[in-house]
Amino acid sequence: MSKQIKPEEFDVIIRAVGLHPNGAGVDSLLTHLGIDLSHRTLQRRLAKLVASGRLVTEGAGRALRYKIRSITADLVIAPDMKMEASLESYIPLSPEGSEIRNHVRQPRQMRQPIGYNPEFLATYHPNETFYLTEGLRSQLRKIGTFEEVERPAGTFARDILTRLLIDLSWASSQLEGNTYSRLDTERLIEFGQVAEGKDAVETQMILNHKAAIELLVSEAGQIGFDRTTILNLHALLSDGLMVDPRACGRIRERLVEIGGSVYLPIAMSQRLDELFTVILDMATEIADPFEQAFFIMVHLPYLQPFEDVNKRTSRLAANIPLIRHNLCPLSFIDVPARAYIDAMLGVYELQRIELLRDVFVWAYERSCQQYLAVQRQLVPPDSFRLRYRKELTSAIKSMVSNHWLVTEEAARLAVPATVPETDRDHFVQMVLDELDNLYEGNALRFGLRPLEVAAWREAIDKHDGARM
């Protein structure tokens, strides 16, 4: 009797194929699957997926490649929408994800209005209930762990910070309808260059993401699922974008509606505040970082604690445990907006998480693929700098706060007593090199605010001008 194959084993293969838009051969898939399969076993499973219509083939012999079958909505749509639907970008789906997608694609008038269901949260018990199976959590940890060496919280995110700022700011903003291109986003973040013809709101949205990501990375050892972190995260993301500026970083006191949905969130501010606290407490209890990330992506938007910017806050908050554990961050790069919207509608209207789980897993695998390539281009970490990271921060902060000049004598005065005499020459040179490259855009890693750096620069300029 043949062995029964679990549906999730087919789903792993589908997701691996989905990471290759132009198709993938058997050998390529074997290197990306993360599960132990022989060449012949994988061929047999691919054949089953082709027979079931979930995959299609292209080429023959050694050139044979497997691709995801194009997905179109199985719904009645207007004639002028048929072309758009047939060309729609989507992701590989589980059968449950397809079921949810088809439901939320029905016309709004055919979907039953529904309010907040407290049982959805009440039936979740941290470390007993899991939205992500043990196999999925293990798979995500395997592909998201790029180094086994234990390093301070946020080290990996700091290593790829420039790329992360651009990718996550752009991709998360795109999911909100922002029309900035990735190149425009890069120019805005790195050079402050505003793209021509873009709405000021779009520019503000990108810059808000940058500020929020910098907070998560610079304060990686301090942040968590606590009120201070999440409220400040919302305040940064919503800065300049709320109708009422006082709503930034505050639990809402007004009724909100969700466009295109029949879901009606809670109206009472006191009840919102209570549930917000419960969600954060439960998230804090969850031990697995991936389950934590996904839990907050589900329940923060479902509660809608803020007047706006709930989904953006949840997407960045999902990165908190990943950054803290030095796992690959979740950038949402290449996630189709329609797939994400459908997934959130499934949570809002059905309290079902399977479609959002499909999006989350696919998005994380895609992010890992991106940052693995980035990591290979990184210079290996400087072990001396890593050993004296705290002392370096202390010395830099001391010199900047006291408006000291960038001289060897001043640097030697700033060296902490914990640096041995034998390492002081090397340490002093490291301090001088860092000060030469210090500016407002990279000051947060030393616990400095842009205004502090600007004041220090001004003091140095005045001193140099007085000597001339």
pLDDT 10s digits, 163-172 = 999 999 999 9
Asked whether the predicted pLDDT for residue 249 surpasses 80, the reply is yes
* Confidence band, pLDDT 50/70/90 cuts, at residue 81: very low
Token code pair at residue 47: 């054949």
- How far CA 334 is from CA of 94, 189, 236, 461, in Å, comes to 19, 19, 24, 45
Judged against a pLDDT cut of 80, whether residue 213 lies above it is answered with yes
Question: What is the spatial distance between Cα 356 and Cα 344, in angstroms, rounded to a whole number?
Answer: 7
Distance between CA atoms of residues 429 and 415, nearest Å: 11
Stated length of the chain: 468
What integer pLDDT is reported at residue 380 of this predicted model? 54
List phi, psi (to 5°) of 66: -110, 140
Distance of CA 50 to the CA centre of its chain: 33
User: 380 by DSSP, 3-state: which?
Assistant: coil
Asked if residues 389 and 419 have their Cβ atoms less than 8 Å apart, the reply is no
State the fold for domain 7-68: Arc Repressor Mutant, subunit A (1.10.10)
pLDDT band for position 4 (cuts 50, 70, 90): low
Closest CA to 294 of 231, 367, 381, 363: 363
pLDDT in tens, 411-456: 999 999 999 999 999 999 999 999 988 887 788 888 888 889 989 9
Q: What angle do CA 369, 229, 249 make, to 5 degrees?
A: 110
- How far apart are alpha carbons 293 and 320 in whole angstroms? 7
Nearest in space to 325 (alpha carbons), one of 133, 127, 151? 151
- Provide φ and ψ at 392, rounded to 5°: -65, -45
**Cα dist. 331→133, 167, 171, 209, 307 in Å?**
22, 6, 7, 12, 24
| pLDDT score recorded for residue 3 | 55
Mean pLDDT of 328-336: 94
Residue range 285-299, pLDDT digits in tens = 999 999 999 999 999
Instruction: For residue 158, name the pLDDT band (cuts at 50, 70, 90).
Output: confident
Contact 69, 54 (CB under 8 A): yes
pLDDT digits (tens, 9 = 90+) for 339-396: 999 999 999 999 999 999 999 999 999 999 888 776 665 545 567 888 898 999 999 9
Q: In 3-state terms, what secondary structure has residue 24? A: strand
Give the confidence band of 5 by pLDDT, cuts at 50, 70, 90: low
- String of b and e for 363-399 (b: at least 16 CB within 10 Å)? bbbbbbbbbeebbeeeeeeeeeeeebeebbbbbbbbb
Instruction: Report pLDDT for 378.
Output: 52
CA dihedral 397, 400, 405, 409 (to 10 degrees): -10
The amino acid sitting at 192 is: G
- The whole-angstrom separation of Cα 271 and Cα 291 is 25
Question: Where do we find the tokens 């779009």?
Answer: 202
What integer is the mean pLDDT of 181-195?
A: 94
Taking residues 310-315, what's their average pLDDT? 98
State both tokens at 230.
């999440």
In the chain, % of residues over pLDDT 70: 88
Please name the residue ranges forming H helices in 26-67: 26-32, 39-51
pLDDT the model gives residue 86: 37
Distance CA(120)–CA(434), nearest Å, equals 50
Separation of alpha carbons 137 and 288, rounded Å: 8
158 or 74: which carries more pLDDT confidence? 158
Of residues 199 and 442, more confidently modeled: 199
All structural domains of the chain with their residue ranges:
7-68, 103-376, 383-467
Highest mean pLDDT among 29-33, 45-49, 256-260, 302-306: 302-306
- pTM to 2 decimal places: 0.66
Alpha helices, H only, 220-330? 227-238, 269-285, 289-303, 310-317, 319-324
pLDDT band for position 460 (50/70/90)?
confident
Number of Cβ atoms within 10 Å of the Cβ of 87: 9
Mean pLDDT rounded to a whole number for the chain:
87
3-class state of residue 263 by DSSP: strand
Q: Which CATH architecture has domain 103-376?
A: Orthogonal Bundle (1.10)
- Taking the C-alpha atoms of residue 26 and residue 55, their distance in angstroms, rounded to an integer, is 13
pLDDT for the residue 11: 72
pLDDT at 85 over 50: no
